[in-house]
Structure 1
Amino acid sequence: MRLFSPTLLAAGALLLPLLAAAQTPTDSLTAVKRRYSLFRPVPRELLRDLAPDRPGVTESPFTVDAGHFQFETALANLISSHPGRQPKQHTFRANAFVLKMGLDNRTDVQLFVDAYEWDRTFATADEPSTRNQGFGDITVRLKRNLRGNDSTESPLAVALIGFVRLPTGGRQGAGGYEYGLLLPATYALADTWNLSAQLPLRLNFDRDESQHYLQTAPSLNLDHAFRPWLTGFGELVAQHDFRSRRWQQAVNAGAMFSVGKNIQFDIGRQFALTRQADREYFVGFVVRR
C-alpha cells in the first residue's frame, strides 16, 4: 500500500491553499456564540438555519450548534447496478442514520450507523444468484467549520471533515478500517440560490483483495429555494478509483421539504451517466433538537 503516492501529494497541495484561504472572519454573532458549548447550549433564537449533510453526496460546511443534536436518516435506498455491469445487483437499505452533536460553535461530532441491507446478485453463466442481508459498519466523523458558519461578512462557507469507518458490519460491511478527509464548501449566489462543492480523499478497503486503495469523488451541487418550505437540487458526482484509473459519473436530483425550522423531508434519484455507475432512489428526513 503506497500512502505517499504522487497523486496523494498533489491532492494535499490542492487542499493547502484552500485551507489557508479559509480564515474565519469574526462578527458580532460569532463572538456571542463562542460563549456556548456542549453543556451550555446555544439559545434557540440564535440557532443557524437547518443545514443537514443529506440528501446529496456534497456535505454541508455548517455544523450543528453547540449543545444541540441532529438526527438524519435515509429511510430507504433502492440501488440497482447499470444493465451493462455483470453480474447485476439490487440492494435495498433501510434506515441508515447519523446522530450529530454540537461541541462548540465550529465543531460537531457525528456517529454514522449503516443501514440494514438486503443484497441480491443475479446469476451469470459462471455463477449462481446469491442473497445476503445484515447490518453495515459504524463511522465516526468530526466536522470543523473553517469559515462562514454564522458570519454575514462573506457568502462563502468552508469546512473540513475527517472520518474513520470501523469494520463492525460483518459480510455487509467494508471488511476493514477505512479513513477519509472531505473539504466541503458552499457559496450563496443569492437569497434563494446556493452553489456547493466537495473534494474528498478516501482510503477504502477491498475485502476481496485484502488491501487499501485510494479513491476520490468530487461533486458539484446547485440548489434553489422555490418556496420557504420547498427546495430543489441538482448534483453532479464523478468518482475515481486510482487503481483502475477509471471515472464514473452520475447526476442526483431531488427535493427537500421543510416543516418549521427543525424538520426536513427529502426525496430524490440518482441517474447514471456512465456504464459502471449505479442508479438509486432515496427518501429520508432530518430532525434537530
Structure 2
Amino acid sequence: MNQTLASALLVTTATAAFAADPLPDKAQYNLLNPTPPQWLREMSTDRPDKTESPYTVDAGHFQIEMDLVNYSYDKHNSKRDGTIVRTWGIAPVNLKVGLLNNLDVQFVLEPHTYVHTSDPAAGVSKQRGFGDITTRLKWNLWGNDGGATAFALMPYFKLPTNQDLLGNGNHSVEFGLIAPLAVELPAGWGMGLMTQLDVVRDTTSSGYHPEFVNTVTFGHDIIGDLGGYVEFFSSVSTERGSSWVGTVDLGLTYALTKNIQLDAGINLGVTRAADDWNPFVGISWRF
C-alpha cells in the first residue's frame, strides 16, 4: 500500500510540515499545470502490501511501482492432487499519472510471466508471456493532504491481453471497484482497510460472478526510514465450487529518498486455495 502504511499514514506529516506555511489551494493544479515540488504530499504507494492506498499522485507528476522479482510456490492446493505450481513474475509494474489534485490514473502491466506446473498425472507444462493490462482510476474523497483518515474509490477494468492464458487470464474483460481507507492510530501506528468488488468471468460458462476482497494492514516505522507491516487478506468468490483464499502478509519498506522507496516481503497462504508462499522485492519511484 504505502510507504508502508507506516509512513504514509503516519503522516501527521503534511499538516505538521506546513503549519507555519499553509498549503495553497492545490485544486488549481492538473496534468498540464503540475503541483510545485515544495507542495508535494509525502510519497504514498499501493505496494508492497495488497491494501491499496487512498492517497493519489500529485497533479502533473508520475510514479512507477514495480516488483523487480516476484515468485510464488503452491503445492497444498484445494484438489489435494500433488500438483506443484511455480510462478515467476518479471517486472510487473504499475504506472501512475496524477491528473488532478485528488485524481490519478494507473496502468498495471505484466511484461513477462513464467508458470511451471508439475502434475503427477499430466506431467510438466510451461507457460510464459505477456499478461493482462488493468486500468484504474483513483479518486480521493478526503484526507489527501492531511487529517487522521483518508478514503478513496478506485474503479478499474481489465483488458484480456494475456498470452497462453497466463495467471488469471481468460480472454475476458473484467471490472470492479476498490474502496481503501487509511486511519492514523496512536503511538505511531497506521491502519489500512480495503474492501473490493470484482466482477469476473465464470470458469465453466460464459457468465460473470462477483468476488469479494477484504484486507486489513497495520504498519509502523521500525528505525529511521525503515518501516514494516503485517496484513491479512481474504478473497471470497460466489462461483459454485470455489474456495476461500486467505493470506498473512509481512514486509519491509525503506525510503531511500523522498521519491524512491525499496521494499521486500512475503505473502503466506493460510488456506489451500492460496499460494503457499510468495516472496518479492520491489521499488517505487516518483518524478
Fold agreement, TM-score > 0.5: yes
Identity %: 34
Alignment partner of 1:99 out of 83, 95, 100: 95
2:245 to 245, 248, 255: 248
Question: Which residue identity lines up with residue 130 of structure 1 in the other structure?
Answer: S
**Uncovered stretches (5+) of structure 2, i.e. residues with no partner:** 1-18
How far apart are the structure 2 equivalents of 1:164 and 1:138?
A: 9
User: 2:213 is matched by which residue type in structure 1?
Assistant: A
8 Å Cα contact 1:175-1:205 kept in structure 2: no
AA at the equivalent of 1:246: S
Distance 2:51 2:223 in 1: 22
Kindly indicate whether residue 167 of structure 2 is the aligned counterpart of residue 174 of structure 1.
Answer: no
How do 1:54-65 residues align onto structure 2 when only pairs under 5 Å count? Answer: 54-65=47-58
Provide, for residues 182-227 of structure 1, a one-character-per-residue CA deviation record: whole Å limited to 9, x for no partner.
0000001147311001000001224554432211110000000123
Question: Structure 1: where are the runs of 5+ without partners?
Answer: 1-26
Amino acid at match of 1:165: K
1:75: Cα distance to partner? Answer: 1.2
Deviations for 1:132-167, whole angstroms, at most 9, x for unmatched residues? 10010111110000110003xx30100000101001
Give, in whole Å, the separation in 2 of the partners of 1:214 and 1:228. 42
The one of 116, 124, 128 equivalent to 2:123 is 128
1:117 to 113, 129, 148: 113
- Give the drift of 1:242: 0.8
Cα distance per residue 1:21-43 (max 9 Å; x no partner): xxxxxx99665211111111111
Task: Give the one of 140, 143, 146 matched to 2:141.
Answer: 146
Corresponding residue for 1:21?
none
Q: Is the 8 A contact 2:265 2:280 kept in 1?
A: yes
The answer for the alignment partner of 1:78 in structure 2 is 71
Q: Deviations over 1:35-77 (max 9, x none)?
A: 1111111111111111100111100000000010000111111
Could you tell me whether the CA contact under 8 Å between 1:42 and 1:65 is conserved in 2? Answer: yes
User: In the alignment, which of 254, 262, 268 is matched to residue 259 of structure 2?
Assistant: 262
Alignment of 1:39-54 (within 5 A): 39-54=32-47
1:277 aligns with 2:270: no
- Give the Cα separation in 1 of the matches to 2:73 and 2:137: 31
> Do 2:23 and 2:39's aligned partners in 1 also have CA atoms closer than 8 Å?
no
Please tell me the residue identity of whatever aligns with 2:142: R
Following superposition, which runs of at least 4 residues in structure 1 exceed 3 angstroms of deviation?
Answer: 27-31, 206-211
Question: What is the distance in 2 between the residues matched to 1:133 and 1:206?
Answer: 23
Counterpart Cα distance in 1 of 2:111 and 2:250: 22
Asked if structure 2 preserves the Cα contact closer than 8 Å seen for 1:251 and 1:272, the reply is yes
TM superposition shift of 1:128: 2.3
Residue of structure 1 equivalent to 2:200: 204
| Counterpart for residue 224 of structure 1 | 220
Q: Secondary structure at the match of 2:100?
A: coil
Q: Is the 8 A contact 1:76 1:283 kept in 2?
A: yes
Give distance in 1, aligned partners of 2:173 and 2:61: 29
* CA distance in 2 between partners of 1:118 and 1:142 (Å): 28
CA contact (8 A) 1:205 1:212 kept: yes
Letter in 2 for 1:55: P
Query: What is the distance in 1 between the residues matched to 2:41 and 2:223?
Result: 19
Equivalent residue runs for 1:152-191 within 5 Å: 154-171=147-164, 172=166, 173-190=169-186
Please report the TM-score for the alignment, with normalisation by the length of structure 2.
0.86
> What's the offset of the Cα at 1:105?
0.7
SS at match of 1:121: strand
Q: 1:242 to 1:208 in 2, by over 3 A?
A: closer
Task: Please say if residues 29 and 150 of structure 1, whose CA atoms lie closer than 8 Å, have aligned partners that are also in contact.
Answer: no
Larger relative contact order, structure 1 or 2 (CA cutoff 8 Å, min sep 6): 2
Equivalent runs, 1:8-47 vs 2, <5 Å: 32-47=25-40
Residue 116 (structure 1) shift: 0.5
